[in-house]
Chains A and B, each alone.
Chain A
Amino acid sequence: MRKIGVFVCHCGLNIAGTVDVKRVAERCAEIPGVVHSEDYSYMCSDPGQNLIAEAIEEKDLEGIVVAACSPTMHEPTFRAAAEAAGLNPYQVQMANIREQCSWVHPDDEEEATRKAEGIVGAAVEKVRRDEPLVPHEIPITKKAMVVGGGITGMQAALDIADAGYPVILVEREATIGGRMAQLSETFPTLDCASCILTPKMAEVGRHPLIELMAYSEVEEVSGSVGNFRVRVRQKPTYVDWDACMGCMQCQQQCPSEVESEFERGLGTKKAIGVDFPQAIPNRPKIDPEHCAHLRGDFCWLCSRSCPVDAIDYEQEERIVEEEVGAIVLSTGYDMLPQEVLGEYGYGKYPDVIDSMAFERMKSSSGPTGGEIRRPSDGEIPKEVVFIQCAGSRDPDKGQSYCSKICCMYTAKHATLYHHSVPDGQAYIFYTDVRAGGKGYEEFVQRTVEEDNALYLRGRVSRVYPEGDKILVKGVDTLSDENVEIHADLVVLATAVTPRTDAREMARIFNVGTDEHGFLNEAHIKLRPVETTTPGVYVAGAVRGPRDISDAAAEASGAASKVAMLLSREEMETDPLIAEVDEGDCSGCLWCVAACPFDAIEEKYLTRRVGDREVSRRVVEVNVGVCQGCGACTVACRDGAMNLKGYKDEQILAEVESICLIAGSQQ
Chain B
Amino acid sequence: MNSRYFGRFDPSRGEKLQILDHEGKLKEELRPDLPDERVVRLYERMTVMRVADQTALTLQREGRLGTYAPFYGQEACQASSAFLGPLDWLVPTYRETGALFMRGVPLSLLYRYWMGDERGMSMPETSRILPVEIVVGAHPLHAVGLSWALKLKGEKAAAAAYFGDGASSQGDVHEAMNFAGVLKTPTVFVCENNQYAISLPRKEQTASETIAQRAAGYGFPGLLIDGNDLFAVAGSMLEALEACRNGGGPFLIEMLTYRYGPHTSSDDPTKYRTAEEVEAQKPFDPLLRLRRYLESKGMWTDADEAAALEAGRLEAERAITAAEAMSPPAPMDMFRYTKKTVPPYLEQQKAELAEFLESGVGHA
Chains A and B form a bound pair = no
Interface positions of B (Cβ within 8 A of A): none
